[in-house]
Structure 1
C-alpha cells in the first residue's frame, strides 16, 4: 500500500494506480462513476469523467465520512 509521501512525488502518475469503482456508481453506461484509491494514510477520490482532478482525504477523515450514515 502506498503512503502519502509516495503519492506526492512529482512523478506519481495517478492513471497507473489501481482505482476501485464505487458499488453505488451508475451502471447505465453514461460514465457517471466515482473511483477510490485507498493508500496507507490517505484516500484519493476522483470522477471517472475527469480523472485529472483528484481529491485527497486523510484516512481517518474518510473513515468518519463513510461510517457517518451508519451511525445515524
Structure 2
C-alpha cells in the first residue's frame, strides 16, 4: 500500500467504512484510509472526488469530539 497520495492514486489505499454505517443505504457515509503520516477521508458516493487529509493527531481529536456528541 502506498500512503503518499502524490505518489499514486487513492485506489492504492485501504479504505473502510464505519461499522455504524446504515446498512439500508451503504453509500451514505464516509470512507477512511489510515496511514502512518495521514488519515485520508472521502465521500463513499464519490470515491474519485475530493479527499480530506488530516494529521493523525487532528483525526484523534475529531473522533474524541464526535464520541462526546453521541
User: Does the alignment reach a TM-score above 0.5?
Assistant: yes
TM-score, with structure 1 as normaliser: 0.75
Q: 5+ unaligned residues in a row in structure 1: which ranges?
A: none
TM-score, with structure 2 as normaliser: 0.76
Q: How does 1:1-72 map to 2 (within 5 A)?
A: 3=3, 6-9=4-7, 12-29=8-25, 31-52=27-48, 53-70=50-67
Q: 5+ unaligned residues in a row in structure 2: which ranges?
A: none
**Structure showing the higher strand proportion among its residues:** 1
Task: Determine which structure has greater relative contact order: mean sequence separation of CA pairs < 8 Å that are 6+ residues apart, divided by chain length.
Answer: 1
Q: Note the aligned Cα RMSD (angstroms).
A: 2.2
